[in-house]
Amino acid sequence: MLRAIEILQKPRLYVLNILENYTVEQLNEVPAGFNNNIIWNLGHMVAAQQGICYVRTGVPILIEQDFFDAYKPGTKPERFVDADGIKHIKGLMLSTLEQLEQDYTNQIFKEYTPVVTRYGVELGNIDNAINFLPFHDGLHIGYIMSIRKVLTK
């Protein structure tokens, strides 16, 4: 496994395990002082990975366009996500990483439209993009942990 993808997978597995006993309502709750909820953060991690690695390379995304549009950067929770939707998002957290690794190994990412992220990180190729993802996921896992603390008080 690519080291950067392994670095993504382990924290995703960890957070999914932690959230296993949270209710649908808790995963959808936007606590006071927050702009989003736990399930939006999980969906956003998937959508951001798709945007950074697939959209910028001109390769079709692995997720539904509606899903991408609901969780891409600049969005916020707009609807309640039911149990089936939560299960779908949780599955995508890992399946999209597995496919990313296969696609990278198969060298399907030929071109890359460079971008400077909102964090000032320049991404000029797929390797930069994949190496950026653990930072991005880490931010959102931090948000999840903060929301979790508020929900358990």
- Is residue 108 within 8 A of residue 87, CB to CB? The reply is no
Please report the pLDDT score of residue 47 as a whole number.
98
Q: Where are the alpha helices (H) located in 19-125, listed in sequence order?
A: 24-28, 38-53, 65-71, 83-105
Interval 57-101: pLDDT, tens:
999 999 999 999 999 999 999 999 999 999 999 999 999 999 999
Q: What is the pLDDT of residues 21-38, one digit of tens each?
A: 999 999 999 999 999 999
pLDDT tens digits for 51-69?
A: 999 999 999 999 999 999 9
In this structure, what token pair is assigned to residue 125? Answer: 């190729």
pLDDT bucket at 2, cuts 50 / 70 / 90: confident
Is pTM, for the whole model, over 0.85? Answer: yes
Architecture of domain 3-151: Up-down Bundle (1.20)
Distance of CA 94 to the CA centre of its chain: 10
